[in-house]
């Protein structure tokens, strides 16, 4: 699939992904759960490469929610190991392609080595502007909003808190709001992801599980977005 020059101008600037279906994909194929997560990590790489070619500037991935800590200890350990591997294997690619890496969420429960790698990669790529890659880890939107309000109250900015106050103090204050949210694997819910930020985002749900969400399916989602008319509450 190839977009015309006019269509390219209509592509979203910021896309947020709820990457669902790794475990179900693995179980369906009688594979270890971690294999589904590994294949899912490969899909992220492909999405990033295609987005750079399309000049899409912002990508945010829901990598690990607060609720994911409730999974089995074995799976949580494997996921952290995979995250380490991803950060190590992709550092050169982030540097070479001038990708600005950042993360949002509470990473306090993650392995100390992972925390170090996250901060190091964020610092090393902070000046890059070709593509802004954000990874949500230990993230939950309700907690983010509550923390933001408490942060504002401590600052004692004014008696009345405005929408602008909240937007400017969220973890994502350095990012534009998402134009498009893509959720895979057939579920039609937001799972506590960027609830404030996606108030006017377009939502795209697909039954395709994340490990099968290849570049062609990504292009189909983008075409669907291009064909929509965003009204922002108007006619």
What torsion do the CA atoms of 170, 173, 176, 180 make, to the nearest 10 degrees? Answer: -30
Residue 120 has pLDDT above 80, yes or no: yes
Find the CATH number of the domain harbouring 108.
Answer: 3.40.1180.10
Residue 146 has pLDDT above 90, yes or no: yes
Domain enclosing residue 52, as ranges: 5-226
231 in a domain, yes or no?
no
Is the distance from CB of 134 to CB of 61 less than 8 angstroms? Answer: yes
Residue 158 has pLDDT above 70, yes or no: no
Q: Against a cut of 0.85, is the pTM above it?
A: yes
Which residue in the list 68, 97, 192, 224 is annotated as catalytic? Answer: 68
* b/e per residue 176-207 (b: at least 16 CB within 10 A): ebbbbbbbbbeeeebebbbebbbeebbebbbe
Residue with tokens 């090393």: 124
The pLDDT of residue 195: 98
Q: Is 92 a catalytic residue?
A: no
Share of residues in the chain with pLDDT > 90 (%): 87
How would residue 232 be classed by pLDDT, with cut points 50, 70 and 90? low
Question: What does the pLDDT look like over 13-29, one tens digit per residue?
Answer: 999 999 999 999 999 99
The closest alpha carbon to 221, from 4, 6, 16, 9, belongs to 16
The pLDDT of residue 2: 81
158 in a domain, yes or no?
yes
> 222: helix, coil or strand?
helix
Total domain count, the chain: 1
Residue 156 has pLDDT above 90, yes or no: no
The pLDDT of residue 76: 92
The pLDDT of residue 103: 98
Which residue in the list 20, 22, 169, 179 is annotated as catalytic? Answer: 20
128 in a domain, yes or no?
yes
Residue with tokens 């950060």: 87
116 in a domain, yes or no?
yes
How would residue 4 be classed by pLDDT, with cut points 50, 70 and 90? confident
Is the distance from CB of 68 to CB of 79 less than 8 angstroms? Answer: yes
The pLDDT of residue 234: 59
Q: What is the mean pLDDT of the chain?
A: 94
């Amino acid at each position: 699939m190839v977009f015309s020059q006019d269509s390219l101008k209509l592509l979203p600037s910021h896309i947020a992904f709820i990457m669902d279906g790794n475990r179900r994909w693995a179980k369906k194929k009688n594979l270890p759960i971690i294999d589904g997560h590994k294949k899912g990590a490969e899909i992220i790489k492909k999405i990033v490469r295609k987005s750079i070619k399309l000049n899409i500037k912002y990508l945010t991935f829901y990598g690990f929610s607060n609720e994911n800590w409730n999974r089995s200890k074995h799976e949580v350990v494997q996921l952290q190991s995979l995250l380490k591997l991803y950060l190590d294997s992709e550092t050169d690619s982030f540097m070479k392609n001038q990708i600005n890496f950042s993360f949002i969420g509470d990473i306090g429960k993650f392995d100390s080595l992972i925390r170090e790698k996250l901060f190091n990669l964020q610092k090393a790529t902070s000046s890059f502007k070709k593509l802004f890659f954000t990874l949500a880890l230990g993230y939950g939107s309700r907690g983010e909003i509550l923390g933001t309000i408490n942060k504002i109250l401590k600052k004692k900015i004014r008696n009345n808190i405005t929408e602008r106050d909240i937007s400017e103090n969220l973890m994502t204050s350095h990012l534009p709001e998402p134009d498009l949210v893509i959720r895979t694997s057939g579920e039609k819910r937001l799972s506590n992801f960027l609830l404030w930020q996606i108030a006017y985002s377009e939502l795209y749900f697909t039954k395709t599980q994340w490990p099968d969400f290849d570049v062609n399916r990504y292009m189909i989602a983008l075409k669907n977005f291009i064909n929509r008319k965003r009204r922002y509450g108007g006619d």
